[in-house]
């Protein structure tokens, strides 16, 4: 696996791959890799002849009081993980190369970026959209792979790509979970043993919502209340939000009748975790639902 440390070199490498007629897949990450990330690589490996992963902890998507400084970083381990997963090239740019002095151009997908994660983390999605657009410009991949774990993020990226006519197809991959249901996340490393047990409460709340839906409940308030009750029963958990939103706009819905997400953000101690359940009618207008947890 080639390790590429500058934007100029990355552009040259990608240009050469395109000239050879290779199909390029990009997997953007912030490192501290786990099986959620390697699942994205595995999907890219299946669909592309040249797989490029990036590791960049993007300062622009962290708030001033967030964990930018202490975000886990272990490039040596990440490089081994990605090499073993079959990545061809790893892009690890310097922050000063991505954001040189005088940098002042940002992308913001309006509306959806201000809701839920955007409301709790002002400026977060502006940072995400900006860095992802830069990565898509630098690499110009045919396909770019993202996890549904960050459902609002991948929706925003898809809108940006459509609005700005970016020639990359965004591929959304399923959530990878631990055996007890906890969604894999680099931030799980912050949890103490006790908090790690408590963290399963997010998955439990989503399973509860699914059970209510299976029992015929369609009222969003009732589903939200059911999730809230599970979270509130866990002493180490503090709810940020539990909502039922439309899968396209992330605006709240009154009733589940079209594709929706049940979305959760919960503090376990000082660690903020998110998770979601995708709810879809089996066919348009149908009362039967399929779930993606
Ligand atoms: P991050 O390194 O946290 O910025 O995540 C990089 C990519 O991996 C994003 O597209 C995430 O949605 C995806 N990802 C993170 N955790 C998971 C997971 N448990 N399952 C699937 N994808 C994930």
Please state, in angstroms and rounded to a whole number, the distance separating the CA atoms of residues 165 and 159: 10
Point out the ligand 1 atom lying closest to the alpha carbon of residue 177: 19
34: pLDDT strictly greater than 80:
yes
User: What residues have CB less than 8 Å from 131, skipping those under 6 apart?
Assistant: 28, 56, 58, 60, 61, 98
Cβ 37 under 6 angstroms from ligand 1: yes
Q: What positions carry a catalytic annotation?
A: 37
Cβ 183 under 6 angstroms from ligand 1: yes
pLDDT in tens, 202-220: 999 999 999 999 999 999 9
Nearest CA among 38, 51, 118 for reference residue 80:
38
pLDDT in tens, 53-84: 999 999 999 999 999 999 999 999 999 999 99
- Residue 285 has what pLDDT? 77
Point out the ligand 1 atom lying closest to the alpha carbon of residue 31: 2
Point out the ligand 1 atom lying closest to the alpha carbon of residue 27: 7
Cβ 56 under 6 angstroms from ligand 1: no
Cα 285 to middle of ligand 1, angstroms: 32
Cβ 150 under 6 angstroms from ligand 1: yes
Mean pLDDT for the chain?
Answer: 97
- Residue 287 has what pLDDT? 83
Cβ 29 under 6 angstroms from ligand 1: yes
Kindly report the number of other CB atoms within 10 A of residue 176's CB atom: 18
Output 287 or 179, whichever has higher pLDDT: 179
Confidence of residue 182 (pLDDT cuts 50, 70, 90): very high
Write the residue with the smallest CA distance to atom 13 of ligand 1: 147
Cα 219 to middle of ligand 1, angstroms: 30
- Residue 166 has what pLDDT? 98
284: pLDDT strictly greater than 90:
no
- How large a percentage of the chain has pLDDT more than 90? 98
185: pLDDT strictly greater than 80:
yes
Write the residue with the smallest CA distance to atom 18 of ligand 1: 36
36: pLDDT strictly greater than 80:
yes
| Residue located via tokens 């940020």 | 240
286: pLDDT strictly greater than 90:
no
């Amino acid at each position: 696996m080639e390790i590429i440390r500058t934007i100029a070199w990355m552009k040259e490498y990608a240009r050469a791959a395109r000239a050879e007629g290779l199909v390029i897949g990009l997997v953007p990450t912030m490192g501290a890799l786990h099986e959620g990330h390697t699942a994205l690589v595995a999907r890219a490996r299946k669909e592309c002849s040249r797989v490029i992963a990036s590791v960049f902890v993007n300062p622009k998507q962290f708030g001033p009081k967030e964990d930018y400084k202490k975000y886990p970083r272990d490039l040596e381990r990440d490089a081994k993980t990605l090499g073993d997963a079959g990545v061809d090239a790893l892009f690890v740019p310097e922050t000063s190369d991505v954001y040189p002095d005088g940098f002042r151009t940002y992308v913001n997908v309006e509306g959806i970026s201000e809701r839920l994660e955007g409301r709790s983390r002002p400026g977060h999605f502006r940072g995400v959209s900006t860095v992802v657009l830069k990565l898509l410009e630098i690499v110009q991949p045919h396909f770019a792979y993202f996890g549904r774990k960050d459902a609002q993020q991948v929706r925003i990226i898809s809108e940006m790509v459509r609005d700005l006519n970016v020639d990359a197809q965004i591929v959304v991959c399923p959530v990878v979970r631990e055996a007890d249901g906890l969604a894999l996340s680099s931030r799980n490393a912050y949890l103490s043993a006790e908090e790690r047990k408590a963290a399963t409460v997010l998955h439990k709340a989503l399973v509860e919502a699914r059970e209510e839906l299976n029992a015929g409940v369609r009222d969003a308030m009732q589903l939200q209340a059911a999730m809230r009750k599970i979270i509130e029963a866990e002493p180490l958990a503090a709810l940020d939000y539990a909502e039922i939103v439309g899968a396209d706009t992330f605006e709240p819905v009154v009733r589940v009748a079209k594709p929706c997400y049940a979305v959760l953000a919960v503090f376990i101690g000082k660690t903020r975790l998110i998770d979601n359940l995708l709810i879809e009618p089996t066919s348009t207008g149908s009362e039967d639902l399929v779930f993606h947890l």
